[in-house]
Every structure is written in C-alpha cells, then in structure tokens.
Structure 1
C-alpha cells in the first residue's frame, strides 16, 4: 500500500531506519529490565521488584509505539532478536549482579545511551527529513527516558 503523508519516500526510509535502531534499543532495554525484575535479590526486593516491573511495562509500551510509528511511515518494523541485536546500541550484561543498585546502574546507563541516540537524531528528523510528526513523537520518548534516568540516578545518591 502506498503511503502518502507528504514526506518523500527517501526521507521516510531514513527516519524508519533511525526508528528501527530506537526500536531495537527499546526492546533490549525492556528485556534487560525484565531480567532485573526476575533476578533481583536483597532486602529491598519487594519495592524494587514492583519498580522494575513498572519500568519493564513502560519499556514494552515504548517499543510498541516505536514499531507502530515505523508502520505509519510505510515501513515494516524489525521483529527478530537477531535484527534487534544487530541494530541496538545497548549491550547485554548477565554478570552485573542481582542487587538493586547494580541493576539500577546498568539500566541507568542504558537510558542515558538511548537519550544520547535520540538527541543525535532528533534535529535531523525535522530539518533534514521534514518529519515533524516523528520529531514530536521522539521528543516525547526522550522526555520519558530523561525522567526515568533521573529517578534511577536518585536511587544511587
């Protein structure tokens, strides 16, 4: 089906690729957050188990929203683990420890990495590719990651 949204096909393709990378990051982050939720140990287990579940649900929702934005641009969202691992900026870390502070450090680093990626692509989406809609969408995701990073950072003070 032809996508007619007043953005040139070549611009939609570039933006869709940037979003595919973001989708991979969000998917890997949701998996790492789920790992934290499942494997957490320590005296703060109950409260942090619930907190990590909330973060996992937020990450899953963001991934879904990014995939749907890719479809709105007329492209298919990547949907395989192999592709996500090829596209992501994040790394898997199974040896980070299972206490809340160790897990928080890993997740904070990931949120900050995603913030950096979004900031690096945001201006280009609107100015070079004429996609104000995706720029606004990604700005909202940026704000969510900044808030979560702040909250994670507060645990480490």
Structure 2
C-alpha cells in the first residue's frame, strides 16, 4: 500500500497535476494528444481562414456566402474549445499560440483575398484536411480504448464532411 507522505502521485507539489488515471495508458494518451493537437491546429487555421473569408467575400452571392461562412466559423470556434479541453482531459497541454498552430497545421494559409469561387474551393479542401486528421486520431482510439475521443472525432468528421459538401455544392459550374 502506498504511503501518502512519500508517494509523489498522492502528494504532488503545488505546481504539479494529479496523475491521470482514466484507464488509458500513458503512451496512448501521448499519441492521442499529439493527434488531437494537429486536429486542433487544423481547426484553428480553418477557423481563421473561414472568418477572414466571411469578412472579405464579395459578389452576387455575398449575403448567402457571408452567412454560410459565419455559421461555419461559429461552429469551428466551439470545436477548438472542445478539442483543447479533450487534450487537457488526457493530461497534456494544448497548443495555444499562433506559432504552435502554424507548425502543426496541414492547411495552407491564404495571404490574399481570392474570389468567391476560390474561397469555396479552398474551404472544401481545408474541411477535407481536417476530416482526414480526425480519421488518423480515430485509428489511435481503438488501441487506446478511448471512446470519448472517438465520439468527438466522429462528431467533427460528420461536421466537416457536411461542410465540404455544402461548400462544394455552392461552387458555380
């Protein structure tokens, strides 16, 4: 039986957290946190791009695209919080700076103001990138027996697949 006065897991220093004992092995939590950090960075980058396109879209379909982009960036705003909180629940720190996101993201940054067709095409590709990064995390959840992260990834994949479809359907032929 551990001695509470000598067992550092039971009496952490004030700056240390209590150990995470949720039934997910440390190495799995590490892999999950790393995968989720990429999903978070991709999502945050997509959020920024979508918000920028919301501000800068022009053309005959301004109003409908402006509204669609707003709906999407509002969902993404909630998603980044959920993703970061899941990383924290797994006992790891979430990336939280733009420089960290830029190192981790798989989404290509946009430095200009493309026309509405190019905005839509980029957002289709970017939603698909986020979807694929979620799928990579799902592959880890099986070995980790982590149904909570799997559920979160399934929710996000469903969202990104639908968003990509709606954006794709908005591209004029």
TM-score by length of 2: 0.84
Following TM superposition, where does structure 1 have runs of at least 4 consecutive aligned residues deviating by more than 4 angstroms? none
In the TM superposition, 1:104-115 aligns within 5 A as 104-115=120-131
In the TM superposition, 1:28-67 aligns within 5 A as 28-67=45-84
CA shift for structure 1 position 140: 1.0
Higher helix share: 1
The partner residue of 1:11 within 16, 22, 28 is 28
User: Which structure 1 segments of 5+ residues have no match?
Assistant: none
- Segment drifting more, 41-50 vs 104-113: 41-50
Task: Determine the structure 1 residue equivalent to 2:164.
Answer: 149
TM-score by length of 1: 0.93
Over the aligned positions, Cα root-mean-square deviation in angstroms equals 1.3
Q: Deviations over 1:38-57 (max 9, x none)?
A: 11111211221111111111
In the TM superposition, 1:89-104 aligns within 5 A as 89-95=106-112, 97=114, 99-104=115-120
CA shift for structure 1 position 6: 0.7
From the superposition, tell whether residues 96 and 105 of structure 1 become closer, same or farther in structure 2 (CA, over 3 Å). farther
Q: Is the 8 A contact 1:24 1:84 kept in 2?
A: yes
User: Which structure 2 segments of 5+ residues have no match?
Assistant: 1-17
CA distance in 2, matches of 1:37, 1:22: 22
Helix, strand or coil for the counterpart of 1:91? coil
CA distance in 1, matches of 2:163, 2:89: 27
Task: Determine the structure 2 residue equivalent to 1:2.
Answer: 19
Q: Is the 8 A contact 1:111 1:146 kept in 2?
A: yes
Helix, strand or coil for the counterpart of 2:34? helix
Task: Determine the structure 1 residue equivalent to 2:4.
Answer: none
Task: Determine the structure 1 residue equivalent to 2:87.
Answer: 70
CA shift for structure 1 position 130: 2.2
